[in-house]
Structure formats: C-alpha cells, structure tokens
Amino acid sequence: MPFVTVGKENSGNVDLHYEDHGSGKPVVLIHGYPLSGASWERQLPPLLDAGYRVITYSRRGFGQSSKPTTGYNYDTFSEDLHQLLNKLDLKNVALVGFSMGGGEVARYQGRYGSKNVSKSVFISSVPPYLLKAPDNPEGVDKPVFDGIEKAVAADRYAFFTDFYKNFYNTDQNLGTRVSEEVVRNSWNIAAIAGSVASVACVRTWYEDFRKDLARITSPTLVIHGDADRIVPYASSGQRTAKLVAGARLVTIKNAPHCITWTHADEVNTALLNFLREEKKLLLETPA
C-alpha cells in the first residue's frame, strides 16, 4: 500500500495514501468532501482503457491517509499535492478536482504556476469563492456555513446522512441513477474520516480562489450540474469558467453535486474528449 510522507505532527508522520495505475500521460484525480481517492471508481476504468496513467490519493484526514489535527487549509493541501507530484516525478500532469478537489487544482497553480500542468478540470468544484461578501454578492451567506460546521461538530454521522441526500439529490435519483448501497458506501467512507478534518474542512469551502484562477494558463474544463444543491452552479462552475482564460464549460442538465457517479457517462465523455484535445485547439475555444 503506497504512501507519501508530507509532514509530521509531534512524533508521527503525516502520510497520504495514493494509488498509481496504468501508463501514459498522467492524470491526478482529487476527491471531494467527505470522500476519499476511492470515490473515482467510475472514472478510473475509462481513463485506464484510454491509455492514461491514473493517480488517485486521499487528502490528509480522509480515507486511509493520516488524520492529523493540523493543516486543513488550501495552502497546505496544495503543498501536499506538490509533494505527491514530486515523489512520483510526474511531469505535464492533468489535474482533475471534484468539489473540494477543485480547490487544490486552483491553489496549486496559484502557488506553483501552470508550467507542470497539462490540463485542469473542475468538476462540481468550490472555486471561485463561495462566501458572500461586498465584492462577491453571488456567494452564500456565512451563517449557512456556520450552521454546517456546528452540525458536523455536534454529530457528524447524522450530518452525513442528511448531506448525502443533497449530494446525490436522492429524492430524484435514488433507484435510478444511484442505489441505496452507493449512498451507504459513501456514508461509510465519510465515517472513517478524521473527526477534526470533518469539521475543519467546512471553513475551507469558502476560501477565495479568484487570484488563483487568474494565474491558470493550462487548458481548462469546467463540468457542473445545474441542479447542484451542495455547490450552487451559478456561484461556482458558471463563474469559474468565466474567470479562467479560454476555459470551456459543460453544463449537465438536472444533475446533482455528485455527477461523477450519477452522470458518469456524461462526465467521462467530456473528460476524455478534453484530455485528448491538442493544447492549441482548446485555447482557441471561448468559454
């Protein structure tokens, strides 16, 4: 079971669990809250079949990675990603982020530039800036996030049960696009996340990524469902596509937050088509 050490907390290492499969051009898949690298199971086979080397990993605090009580901010998350890329000596890598994972895609390039990034993909992602502010009227009121944080701290297991209803829009999709077993498995993955991480990550959802997005020069694809109840389409995906030069927006109609599962065919088609495109062609395509 491979791990990369990205830091220490007192006497123990902070290790990230990762999986590295296939060969060819590298694609790194970065998961959302409160999941793990295993959440990409509907994207992994198509990417491998298409000839890509696919790396998944679990963010600190989640999955089989270490669960420290520090480092839950995007500067640290992007440094963790940087160390993983260096450990595996990955060059010209495609970064694909779902939900929280889009924050790493943005902040990594905000800090380190796009020189080593061949493509950027934001799926149901939190950028550009989810918090309502005088210069960001499209955002969400802070009391909404405060309420989520309090609910997770009080009883995260009960919170996850309600959270996944809107994660998959189960009132519309249960029994058709998602099964009870899939929802249960997602809950099980959430339950093994660190208790500190589960609470601390809520505040990272509304970090300001606008300056990071402005620094991205890699060809960029944004995929978002217009029925997303977790990360609103109008506040996130639609705006991110306008803030990254040359970005392309794929809107999936009537789709919830977790489109990587419920609308995997649409997501995979858009993702593979984008990864296959030549860089010069994409840069000619307006948002």
Q: pLDDT digits over 205-218, tens only? A: 999 999 999 999 99
Residue 281 has pLDDT above 50, yes or no: no
Q: Which residues are catalytic?
A: 99, 228, 257
1: pLDDT confidence band, cut at 50, 70 and 90?
Answer: low
**In this predicted model, what pLDDT tens digit does every residue of 7-21 receive, in sequence order?**
999 999 999 999 999
- What was the pLDDT predicted at 278? 72
User: pLDDT grade, residue 252 (50/70/90)?
Assistant: very high
pLDDT at 283 over 50: no
Q: So what's the pLDDT on residue 179? A: 98
* Statement: residue 51 has pLDDT above 50: yes
CATH number of the domain to which 212 belongs: 3.40.50.1820
Q: Does residue 249 lie within any of the structural domains?
A: yes
Confidence of residue 200 (pLDDT cuts 50, 70, 90): very high
Residues 6+ apart with CB under 8 A from 25: 51, 52, 53, 92, 94, 118, 275
Q: Is residue 244 part of a domain?
A: yes
> What pLDDT was estimated at residue 228?
98
287 domain-assigned: no
Q: How far apart are CA 104 and CA 106, in angstroms?
A: 5
Structural domain range at position 61: 3-282
Q: For residue 174, tell me if it sits in a domain.
A: yes
pLDDT at 284 over 60: no
- Token pair for residue 246? 């040359």
Q: Is residue 26 over pLDDT 90?
A: yes
Question: Do the beta carbons of residue 119 and residue 219 sit within 8 Å?
Answer: yes
- Does residue 159 have a pLDDT over 90? yes
DSSP assignment letter at 114: S
Of the pLDDT bands very low, low, confident and very high (cuts 50, 70, 90), residue 85 is very high
DSSP single-letter state for residue 30: E
pLDDT band at 166 (very low <50, low <70, confident <90, very high): very high
Report whether pLDDT(182) > 80: yes
C-alpha dist (Å) from residue 163 to 168, 179, 184, 230, 251:
9, 16, 12, 8, 23
C-beta of residue 74 within 8 angstroms of C-beta of residue 102: no
How many domains does the chain contain in total? 1
- Average pLDDT for 148-154: 98
In whole numbers, what is the pLDDT of the chain averaged over residues?
Answer: 96
Rounded to an integer, the average pLDDT of 138-162 is 96
